[in-house]
Amino acid sequence: MGPEQQFAIPAAVLGGFESGDDTTREWVRLLPSVARELLQRWDLRPEGTIRAGDAGILLPVRRADGTPAALKLQPPKPETSAAILGLIAWNGRGTVRLLDSDAGLGGMLLERLHGDRSLDAVEDDDAVRVVGGLFARLHSVPAPEGLPDLGAIVAGMRAGLLAALRVLDSDDRSRLERWARQVAEMNAEPGDRLLHWDLHYGNVLSADREPWLAIDPEPLVGHPGFDLWPALDSGWSTDDSVSDAPRIVRRRFDILTEMLALDRHHAAAWTAARLLQNTLWDIEDGRHVISASAKTVDDALASLSA
């Protein structure tokens, strides 16, 4: 029986993306036929349960030679093309290996990792050191042409700053303005390294080829300090039982900056840039306050970024 007869995407998976933008809704409409086309083209046999994430879906498959793999499908947006460019450049060095791709259809054929084991389950000092080792490898690869750069990202932040300031209270406005000043100071040297942009603990999975590999990159060219925030924020920000978050943030920051030989002031300032970016996104989504986790990270590093 061919893949076209035995494969279907559950309606519940498709429904999770129907609130997206026009491009995402059109992608949802075409997704079953796109999946069948790529299964046939790359001679793949589906096996296992489809996983849905924020950006797309992941389908466990087996290749014609019997090796396990994973078919990732997401809307054919610039972010998808950037992910493909980054994975090609890294070529499996610290990341999941890209086996084939079709940017126009939003398809990536990836080596299969152990999706049920991430750094979320690892003791914290060990986990952050794994992230530091991965960052060192990822940042050492020359950035390919065609990726977004941090200078353009910062320009976009400046464009949204005034609207954000109008909806915040005075304390939050002061914090946001301070972040903006720090970003302006750093933006003279936005950096030229190949960044992951989303390397939190859940985006590092156990593998057969190596103990741990990064997944789901959103590649960007910029300063390594701009890559730290997801690891600093991992775990505690969604766990109400954690009472020592500032200590956790400072400990992780110390380990990462030491491993990557980063200037601590610059790294803290670029982390503030991530907090600014996240807050601007939150305000675009209708929030009128800076998140508690952003304030915790900021307060933990404030003496370094001042």
Q: Active-site residues: which are they?
A: 198
3-state helix, strand, coil in the chain (%, to 5): 55, 15, 30
Q: Is 32 left (phi over 0), alpha (psi -120 to 50) or beta?
A: alpha
Q: Are 184 and 99 in contact (CB under 8 A)?
A: no
Phi, psi at 149, each rounded to 5°? -120, 155
| CA atoms of 257 and 130, how far apart (whole Å) | 13
The enclosing H or E element of 61 equals strand 57-63
DSSP 171-224: HHHHHHHHHHHHHHHHTTS---EEE-S---GGGEEE-SSSSEEE-S---EEE-G
- In 10 A of CB 67, how many CB atoms? 11
* Cα–Cα distance for residue pair 90/86, rounded to 1 Å: 6
